Structure 1
Amino acid sequence: MPAKLSVNLNAIAMLRNRRDLPWPDVAHFGRLALGAGAYGLTVHPRPDQRHIRFADLPVLRALIDDEFPEAEFNIEGYPTEDFLALCERTEPDQVTLVPDDPAQATSDHGWDCIAHQAFLKETVARLKGQGMRVSLFLDGDGNQAMAEAASATGADRVELYTGPYGGCYDAAEEADRQIALLGKTADFAHALGLGVNGGHDLTVANLPALVKRIPYLAEVSIGHGLTADALEYGMAETVRRFRRACGESL
């Protein structure tokens, strides 16, 4: 079964926030993406609201509920009390927990699920108790012990950090090495009963090799590369291009 595409809207929101104006309209582009067959929408609301704003969340939740009830809403973030309360108010279908410092420009590493075992277990239980699926951002470095620690938290899925793979766009040999490590990590997680997602710097060019190596990949969350392509092809056609790269026959 092809990996499902969740469109990350942060880059659209960051462009909007350059001016005190309501465009580009984040909900409008979410509607275009879902109308073109995206499985869901992803946002990462940071404390400084430098891209997605807290006020965007109920609007996007309503968009999905009212117009695309089969789609999913995925919220990413570091689990501060404020973030957890935001999730409880918004009720996303999935929460992806990332170990980001608020000052980071973007997510660039996965959880140390061994060192943070107790914290993650408590957080996962809280969110799952509210009916949300929980995914943990995990380095795709072939570490079996880390996959086992992720499973021990009670999380439903892991999201493999694919940034190192995405950075190999001009280095085929290193890309092959990164694919092997991601696949190894995914196999460990899959064997433990975890669902496997992927995200960060994925493109139409590098997705096919990833989904071929990890045929059970459940979902990919893509923002930067997809938004860049949308400048050339438009949002709807870009979503279709990424769906084909995920293995869908359109």
Structure 2
Amino acid sequence: MTVLSVNMNVAALLRNRRNHPWPSVVDLGRAALAAGAVGLTVHPRPDERHTRASDVRDLRALIDAEFPNRELNVEGYPDARFLSLVREVRADQVTLVPDAADQATSDHGWDFHADRARLEREVSALKADGHRISLFADPDTTVMAAAADTGADRVELYTGPYGGAHSDVEAQERELDRLAGAAKAADDHGMRVNAGHDLTVPNTAALVARVPALAEVSIGHALFCDALTYGMEGTVQRYLTACRSVARDMG
């Protein structure tokens, strides 16, 4: 079954526009978890333009106090600041992303050949500390063997091009084929598969139906947009239904 992790960056970005305490990242995280999300995702960038290090600590405290069976997934580039933070908050899952410090959003996966030595080193150290490790990856069948060689537990497939093809059915099908092929290649090499970026209720359902072994989706932007209409509880329920689409499609 595919599980849902709610990315909290949009909530933090909205709060930071006025630098007020609202919306409360913790309160919205609590609502998402109470509605059935398996965990919360954060991507604390160096400039703290959305999620701050303090938010990461506060969300860890929320999960520990009220939802001890849920997870905190912390994404980011593995510089010293990031690595120190994920160890401090005991992130259940650490997703390493090859972002530049000034990058607007994640838009490509690792070069697993060029970055292999570094990734092997960081993955080994983080796993020794008890974290599950996922690596951000383009949906490319040819790189999954190299990704597996790093020792990572999972890859997170970048679904941006798939989400961007929302008005082109043929392009969506091509991207679904790429994602399905990459997921199979990752599975063949012993890794589980996550996915994230520009996922919506309809395209999440289509993705899960095509990739039934998908372990986790991380969704933020579209989910928070939908929450303006349906509320957080209703929105999370809609995404959970999409995550169960394979069961419906397979009878």
So what's the TM-score if we normalise by structure 2? Answer: 0.96
* CA–CA distance in structure 1, aligned partners of residues 62 and 151 of structure 2: 30
Aligned to 2:60: 61
Matched, 1:97 2:96: yes
Aligned to 1:233: 230
Matched, 1:176 2:173: yes
Q: 2:141 corresponds to which letter in structure 1?
A: N
Q: How many residues align?
A: 246
Aligned to 1:108: 107
Give 1:20 shift: 2.2
* CA–CA distance in structure 2, aligned partners of residues 48 and 169 of structure 1: 31
Aligned to 1:30: 29
Structure 1 SS opposite 2:109: coil
Root-mean-square deviation (CA), in Å?
Answer: 0.9
Matched, 1:9 2:17: no
Q: 1:64 corresponds to which letter in structure 2?
A: I
- How many percent of aligned residue pairs carry the same amino acid? 57
Structure 2 SS opposite 1:205: helix
Identify which of 206, 209, 216 aligns with 2:206.
Answer: 209
* CA–CA distance in structure 1, aligned partners of residues 59 and 15 of structure 2: 15
Aligned to 2:44: 45
Give 1:212 shift: 1.1
* CA–CA distance in structure 2, aligned partners of residues 97 and 234 of structure 1: 31
Identify which of 131, 155, 169 aligns with 2:152.
Answer: 155
Give 1:57 shift: 1.4
Matches within 5 A, 1:136-147: 136-140=135-139, 142-144=140-142, 146-147=143-144
Per-residue displacement from partner, 1:37-80 (whole Å, max 9, x unpaired)?
00000000000000001111111001101101111000000000
Where do 4+ consecutive residues of structure 1 move more than 6 Å? none
* CA–CA distance in structure 1, aligned partners of residues 157 and 7 of structure 2: 16
Give 1:131 shift: 0.2
Question: Structure 1 regions of 5+ residues with no counterpart?
Answer: none
Structure 1 SS opposite 2:202: coil
Aligned to 1:200: 197
Give 1:93 shift: 0.3
* CA–CA distance in structure 2, aligned partners of residues 201 and 80 of structure 1: 26
Matches within 5 A, 1:122-137: 122-137=121-136
